[in-house]
Amino acid sequence: MARPYRLQAEDTLYHIISRGNDRKKIFLKERDYLKFLENLEIARDRYAFHLYAYVLMTNHVHLLLETTAPNISQIMQNINSSYTTYFNIKHKKSGHLFQGRYKSIVVDKDAYLLELTRYIHLNPVRAKMVRSPSDYPWSSWSEYIAKRPKKPLISWGKLTRYIKYSPVGYKRFVLDSDYDHYSFSQKPYAGFILGQARFIKDTLNILKDQIQSNETSFAKELSSHYTMHDVIELYGQNHNIDPQNLFHAKGKRSFDKKLVIYLIKRLTSHTNADIGKEFNLSFSAVSKASKSIESLVAQNKKMRTRISRIVSSFKV
């Protein structure tokens, strides 16, 4: 079955749910939670999205964020792949950490933003991990009801344009509610749009236009967003290879190294000099590695199919 197309839009509110593979734990130590938040902050600064709420559970993550560019796939690819690389190295593991596809719900911010912050902050309560969201340290709850840190993760300037807010009032809004036993009862339309009828119709029209226009090829789309390290991490994930091993690959893995170099040249704007510096190779060695794969692609139909599948797999 083909994967459903994701709406890639600017100024769009998404509720993201990213689960561990086979629902396994994605956080084992306190340092893991801190590292994920560090990566989240880096991604926020890099992609300029607005973060409104989050909670890190033991085997999944909820994020409520608004894009400023049509790049939700790049945002989530960056967050999940960078954390996977850290986790596998730190805990001496390999392979996929997150379930194949994160869930993204496009949200009508006027109707549901405030309610979703409550839903997210009550996740640990609903899971019976704590009695109150104040007892759970790995969410944005403390930013909402306590003194804000000097560099908050939550985009308060933007958030307070949408909702009326005070720490006392928000705490009462969350804790004094008998909210269907702390669950969110509203179901998304078609599984990925949460909003009023007009919002749903408008979103479906935008999605239809986006699919039909398809003004640029996928490779061009990737080249405008992906970096060398994105390609290395994605290749490692998709082939169950520690990305760090690709830098010094020998023997059978040397082909993977050449293939990654080829993909970097095809899908990013990095030069031979950039790639050579990263892989500790000369300019000519990088060129030779890339051309060897180009030759195979030109001569071998199976190789062309393999490259096409790899590129397609990079799309979240």
- Sequence-separated (6 or more) residues with CB below 8 Å from residue 237: 81, 84, 95, 96, 243
56 contacts 33 by C-beta, under 8 angstroms: yes
Give the β-pairing of 13-19 and 50-56: unpaired
Q: Domains for the chain: give ranges and CATH numbers.
A: 13-213 (3.30.70.1290), 218-313 (1.10.1750.10)
Q: Which of the listed ranges 22-36, 139-153, 195-209 does the model predict with the highest average pLDDT?
A: 22-36
User: Predicted confidence band at 83 (pLDDT cuts at 50, 70, 90)?
Assistant: very high
Cα–Cα distance measured from residue 290 to residue 294, given in angstroms and rounded to the nearest whole number: 6
Q: What is the mean pLDDT of residues 311-316?
A: 65
> What letters, b where the CB count within 10 A reaches 16 and e where it falls short, cover 220-241?
ebbeebbbbbbbbbbbbbebeb
Give the tokens for residue 261.
Answer: 């170099």
Q: How confident is the model at residue 79 (pLDDT cuts 50, 70, 90)?
A: very high
Q: Could you write out the DSSP letters of every residue in 134-200? A: GG-SSBTHHHHHSPPPSS-SS-HHHHHHHS---HHHHHHHHHT---TTT---PPPBTTTEES-HHHH
**pLDDT tens column, 164-209:** 889 999 999 999 876 544 456 678 888 889 999 999 999 988 887 7
Confidence grade of residue 109 (pLDDT, cut at 50, 70, 90): very high
CB 153 within 8 A of CB 64: no
Phi-psi bin for 103: left (phi > 0), alpha (psi -120 to 50), beta? beta
User: Which residue in 23, 9, 133 sits closest to 71, CA to CA?
Assistant: 9
pLDDT of 207-262, one tens digit each?
Answer: 877 766 543 444 444 444 567 888 888 888 888 888 777 777 676 668 888 889 98
Torsion of CA 203, 75, 182, 146, to 10 degrees: -120
